Structure 1
Amino acid sequence: MNHNDSPTTDHATSRRRFLLASGAVGMAGLAGCTTVDVLRGEEVEFEAGTATVADAALADTGYQLRGVSAETRTQEFEVAGRPRAVQVTNRTAEYDKAVELLGERYQAAVFMALATPRVELLGRSYNPIADSDSEDLAERITARYDDVSDLERGTDYTTSILGTDTTVVVYAAQGDIEGTDLTIDLELQIADPVEAGDDFVVCLAAYPESFGDGENVRRMMNGVEHTPE
Structure 2
Amino acid sequence: MATKLRIVLADDHNVIRAGLRALINAEPDMEVVGEAADGEEACRLAAELSPDVAILDVSMPRLGGARAAERIKAERPDVKVLALTVHEDRVYLQQLLEAGATGYLLKRAAAEDLIHAIRTVARGGRYLDPALMGKVLEGLVGSPGAKAATEPLPLSDREQEVLRMIARGFTNREIAAQLDLSTKTIETHKARAMEKLGIDSRVDIVTHAIKVGWLSED
- TM-score between both structures, scaled by the size of structure 1: 0.25
Structure with the higher strand share, 1 or 2:
1
Higher relative contact order (CA closer than 8 Å, sequence separation 6+): 1
Computing the radius of gyration over CA atoms, which structure comes out larger, 1 or 2? Answer: 1
- TM-score between both structures, scaled by the size of structure 2: 0.26
